[in-house]
Amino acid sequence: MLSVSVNGIQFRNPLILASGILDESGATMLRIARAGAGGIVTKSVGAKERAGYGNPVVYELPHERGIINAIGLANPGIDAYGEELRIALQGGVPIIGSVFGSTAEEFAALAKKMEEYGVHAVELNLSCPHASGYGMEVGVDKKLVREIVSAVKSEVQVPVWAKLTPNTHDLRGIAAAAEDADAFVLINTVRGMAIDINARRPVLSNAYGGLSGPCIKPVGVRAVYEIAREFDTPIIGVGGITTGEDAIEYMMAGASAVQIGTAILYRGINAFREIAGEIESWLIENGIEKVSELVGMAQVR
């Protein structure tokens, strides 16, 4: 009832761990797999080890509305990541290797290395909103986006997922530039910030960060709906999914699967199993046999 297929990859349920949450080490990814996730996206990994920004790097909005983070793409580097993936792959769920870079050649080399490590697909982080030289500058440059996707597609055999930015006035144009990708991931975090009025300065050490959580769900649903109307490319929805109803909403907008991140903060790692149960209960109550039947159900032509 809950199994889905994206680019020929079978997921036991449509709930995939989003990049950047408990996915830097093989041990934590293995825990997530055993906690019921349908698949896992790794931490975004670059060519070399990167320390990221100094603390504070995370700010939680009140009333469980979301979080703003500016980790700075901290990661161990691609050469040190093979052992973590070896452990993660023991979980028996598809692993999608997330990579970031500043040039098409760098993305292609990283994707190739991920493929050699055994991932089922690669996700191109084209849209980090807070990492200078690797983030928004890349994701809003249509020419560079096109070059990156093309270079990676020519280098690897596994499916290529392009994670697109919501921080643009021309999302359709960016999607068109990435149309050679096998799937779109919508959306990355929304660029935002918070100010400590007592300290009279930004809360985060980097000032700006990426906003995630329930408060951005309407932005994500709109993006999925909009792009699903224009492109036949499969979409993985992400942004503010904390309940089964949230996941169903994204799928009705046009997503074939969804990614979950911030919900782990509120519901723990059992969120995957619990949300899957909520989806299954809704399907049964509404007489729907397969979750894949929901995809695009709310599209009005």
> What are the tens digits of pLDDT across the range 162-208?
999 999 999 999 999 999 999 999 999 999 999 999 999 999 999 99
Q: Which residues on neighbouring strands pair with residue 209, listed in sequence order?
A: 192
Q: Decide: 27 and 87 in contact? Cβ < 8 Å.
A: yes
Report DSSP state, residue 296.
Answer: T
Instruction: Find the angle CA(97)-CA(98)-CA(104) to the nearest 5 degrees.
Output: 115
**Tokens coding 179:** 């149309």
In this prediction, residues 235-242 reach a mean pLDDT of 98
Superfamily of domain 4-48+74-190+214-294: Aldolase class I (3.20.20.70)
In this prediction, residues 67-83 reach a mean pLDDT of 91
In this prediction, residues 103-116 reach a mean pLDDT of 97
Looking up tokens 């359709």, which residue turns up? 172
pLDDT at 51 exceeding the cut of 60: yes
Q: Which of 40, 128, 136, 228 is catalytic?
A: 128
Q: What percent of the chain is modeled with pLDDT above 90?
A: 87
pLDDT reported for residue 112: 98
pLDDT reported for residue 275: 98
In this prediction, residues 236-243 reach a mean pLDDT of 98
The yes-or-no answer on residue 215 being catalytic is no
Q: Residue 66's pLDDT band (boundaries 50, 70, 90)?
A: very high
Residue 158: CB atoms within 10 A of its CB come to: 20
Domains of the chain, residue spans: 4-48+74-190+214-294
pLDDT reported for residue 127: 80
pLDDT reported for residue 5: 98
Q: Residue 46 region, left (φ>0) first, then alpha (ψ -120 to 50), else beta?
A: beta
